Structure 1
Amino acid sequence: MDRHPLTYLRRQRHWSMGDLARLLRTEARALGLRSGIDRNRIWRWETGTTPTAESQVLLACLLDVPAAVIAQLPWPHWLPAFEQPAEFSPSGSRAALREVQVTRMDRRSFLVFSSSALVDAAANWARVEPDHLNRALDGQGIDAELLEWLEQRASELSAMPIGLGSPVPALIDAHLHTAIELIAQDRHTLPQGRRLHTVAANLAHRAGWLRFDADRHADAQRHWQAAVHAAHQADDRDLAAATLSDLAYQATWLARPADAIRILEHARTRTRTPAVRSLLDVRRARACAILQDRSATTHALASAETELERMRPQSTPAVVSWMSLADVNADAGRCWLDLGDPSRANAAIGTGLAELDPRRARTKAVFLTYRAEGALHRHDAAAAATDARTALDTALDSGAARCIELVSAFITRLDQRNEQPLLELSEYAGTRLAR
């Protein structure tokens, strides 16, 4: 791992120290300034020297970092490079929660944590017990009515459907920030602290999904890491494990299945309920299928079904209350598609779609895209076009950029095919996406 964020950024962009110095001098001239930045100065910055305010402004302009970020964070923490997850302690968890309050640029393709750091964070959570999490709390009182209101509101917001133009995301962020501020004040008892951390964990978890659906992957990572920390402080192992599985799902989505498997291995060690274990097993199966490990995929899917059969509504955490056989079947279909069995994939995805809760539009759009891909593998252009068209409509109605991009990319891959249903689909997609 690179020793300094600036080193990481240079290597990511294939810049030498001389290249960066030259780019910064060009940036200075564009702003009507004179600069003597050279290779040696870059070296000093990467070995501990803090750049002048003017040099930081030039660097921020070059890297497209908003001025507000520089004002909020000291050097080198405002650099858009990898970060180290905070330790699982009261102060570390407060730092992780604070991170989601910092204004950041929208870096859709960049992940804030490196692979090794993210897996290490999962491993650390798996072996750390929160027995001493409240040493920093001073035991002073907190408004009980406010706490109860936050809990109720957090539960309501987490369950609300979110469509285009919905005010719910802004409300979730506002309530999350309120919970973080109350935690930071350290004016609550041990039970109240755990309740506050539970509120923060649930809201950060939901906020992470909103950002993931918007293709804001670094921001999603940051919120999910905060949720893991808050759940840890609340001693809610299932919420922490489920959130780690979301980080693993994101890794699979971004073509990093090996990372996903390692994260899931750690997360599963401390789960308490079958529904959470089923979720982790399904996501492990998806990663194994991408890696073409048929045996591991089959084993993970079988385990997911077994755990789901043990699921009881009264003991199932809210974070996985949506988990059902529909998810297992449809994700199994995606696995069979990755493993080269489109007929088996079609049957499994079809069963999953038939059983899926109609309110889960984003999931429906994803599963329909998978089935369309399977139909194409079976040389059924008409079925592929029908499913892709419905998937596009569903994704656009949901407003989820991640889902829109998935189905749009699939349709784009059909441009070289001359079958009439696919040509009509391409024309329809161009019209809808241009609105």
Structure 2
Amino acid sequence: MERLARHLHVAAARRGLIVSADRSRIYRWEHGRVGVPSDLYQELLADVFCVDPELVRAMGWPWWLPAYDHPFPFSPAGARAAHSEVLVELDRPDRRTFLVLTAGSLVGMAAAWASVEPERLVGALAGRRVDEGLLIWLEDSVNALPELANTSAPQCAGLLGAAMRVTINLLGTSRYDEPTERRLCTVLAQAAQCAAWLHFDQGRHASAQRHWRTALHAAHTADDRDLGAGVLSDLAYSATWLGHPRDAVNILAHARTRTRHATARSLLDVRRARALAVLHDEVGTARALSDAERELERGHAGTAPPWVSWMSPADVAVDAGRCWLDLDDPQRAASALDEGLGLLDPVRERTRAIMLTYRAHTALASHDVDAAVADTRTALDTALGTGASRCLDLVRNTLGTLLEPHRGAATVRDLRSYARHRLKAAV
């Protein structure tokens, strides 16, 4: 606190000012013992922390502080903070002020705006009422984007950004009744959730978490329990991926209590299985996978919410394969992955790349180097086609770590040479 006070005095002196910042004042700010710091003090703090003043104005106190990792409250003010955060993210996609949220805190369309009844959109953004036609168009547009994400992720990212920006502006400037607010928040939640996955696939985990946070707040405002639980399941999957499986189990336990649709529960059960497998809980993993299969059979594809309509037996199989691999049962893993690859929709190339990499791991565990090399080569080509760094990182790990003990084999040498050429060409 003393050091921060000294920095504040230096920042003030650069402006020709004298301030009375001391340890006591900073303590009161930190512990909420006084009101919000004045605009001047916030400007000086932003100067010390190297935070853009635009972010300070957009986010408000204390949300703009670097690495502020407490969850926003589920209130109108918290929702506005989440909206502001993602708007700043859209304006500054490479901003690195905020760190990845700690595990404990985890508990074009743009062109089309000008061609689809622009007077309705412009009028609503100017403060007039959001009408049914505009709502239906927004809903249909956002519902179509997840499929586009499978084939044209970069283009989809721009369209999702446009959808989020316009929807947040509509929520802030137009007139609407409560049912309309819920529908707008559902659109925002679905767009933010889809965008989060695109960021996650590119290894931009902090950005993904910010989008999931916005999606969770929007789903809460919309009173859509299934959608909110689905966003929590995404955060849980992210936690497992980043090495926090215990937190994932705890998140999913909360999420499942509020999940209504059987297909949504199936997704949560699959992700619970993944986390439990990392924790080497074989009994819990088997039970979660059994629950996932049963719930998926109970669900009806035609009635599943749009955000989980992609869930299929192939997804249960691929995650089961990863689970059995983590539990050191390569034969069972290979069987599940073979089943999943046979059932997978051809357009889902990112999932296919991941499944092939996992199957290469099972082949290596069974000492079948040639099969591992074949699957790794196909996984590399598939991952390069998607452009998803998450998929490429898995392939690189296989090439650099798992195949290292077999580096003397001719097939492995050929694969590594092929991979260097392909990856260099891609760059």
Give the AA of the match of 1:429.
Answer: A
Give the AA of the match of 1:333.
Answer: G
Does the CA contact (< 8 Å) of 2:43 and 2:53 recur in 1? no
Q: Which residue of 2 aligns with 1:372?
A: 360
Q: Which residue of 1 aligns with 2:336?
A: 348
Q: Which residue of 2 aligns with 1:387?
A: 375
Cα distance in 2 for partners of 1:157, 1:105 equals 20
Q: Which residue of 1 aligns with 2:190?
A: 202
Q: Which residue of 1 aligns with 2:418?
A: 428
1:304 aligns with 2:297: no
Unaligned runs of 5+ in 1: 1-6, 8-16, 35-39, 120-138
Q: Which residue of 2 aligns with 1:131?
A: none
With 44-53 and 151-160 compared, the bigger mean Cα shift is at 44-53
Cα distance in 1 for partners of 2:97, 2:273 equals 24
Q: Which residue of 1 aligns with 2:242?
A: 254
With 160-169 and 40-49 compared, the bigger mean Cα shift is at 40-49
1:398 aligns with 2:386: yes
Change (3 A) 1:53 1:233: closer
TM-aligned CA deviation for residue 322 of structure 1: 1.0
Give the AA of the match of 1:422.
Answer: V
Does the CA contact (< 8 Å) of 2:322 and 2:333 recur in 1? yes
Deviations 1:162-205 (A, max 9, x none): 44674221111111111111112361011111111111111111
TM-aligned CA deviation for residue 225 of structure 1: 1.5
Does the CA contact (< 8 Å) of 1:111 and 1:217 recur in 2? no
Q: Which residue of 2 aligns with 1:270?
A: 258
Cα distance in 2 for partners of 1:407, 1:42 equals 51
Change (3 A) 1:109 1:100: closer
SS in 2 for 1:93: helix
1:234 aligns with 2:216: no
1:154 aligns with 2:137: no
After TM superposition, the score normalised by the length of structure 2 is: 0.81
Change (3 A) 1:162 1:341: closer
Change (3 A) 1:141 1:109: closer
SS in 2 for 1:100: helix
With 215-224 and 79-88 compared, the bigger mean Cα shift is at 79-88
TM-aligned CA deviation for residue 46 of structure 1: 6.6
Does the CA contact (< 8 Å) of 1:248 and 1:261 recur in 2? yes
Does the CA contact (< 8 Å) of 1:140 and 1:189 recur in 2? no
Does the CA contact (< 8 Å) of 2:145 and 2:156 recur in 1? yes
SS in 2 for 1:85: coil
1:88 aligns with 2:78: no
TM-aligned CA deviation for residue 55 of structure 1: 6.9
CA-atom RMSD, angstroms? Answer: 3.1
Aligned counterpart for 1:97 among listed residues 65, 73, 83: 83
Change (3 A) 1:109 1:363: farther
Deviations 1:85-144 (A, max 9, x none): 22223332232222210145647898543222222xxxxxxxxxxxxxxxxxxx983233
Answer 1 or 2: which has greater helix percent. 2
Change (3 A) 1:140 1:361: same
With 271-280 and 309-318 compared, the bigger mean Cα shift is at 309-318
Cα distance in 1 for partners of 2:98, 2:55 equals 17
Aligned length: 386
Cα distance in 1 for partners of 2:338, 2:200 equals 25
SS in 1 for 2:88: coil
Does the CA contact (< 8 Å) of 1:162 and 1:168 recur in 2? no
Does the CA contact (< 8 Å) of 2:46 and 2:53 recur in 1? no
Cα distance in 2 for partners of 1:92, 1:79 equals 15
Unaligned runs of 5+ in 2: 16-20, 30-36, 108-126
With 404-413 and 44-53 compared, the bigger mean Cα shift is at 44-53
TM-aligned CA deviation for residue 245 of structure 1: 0.4
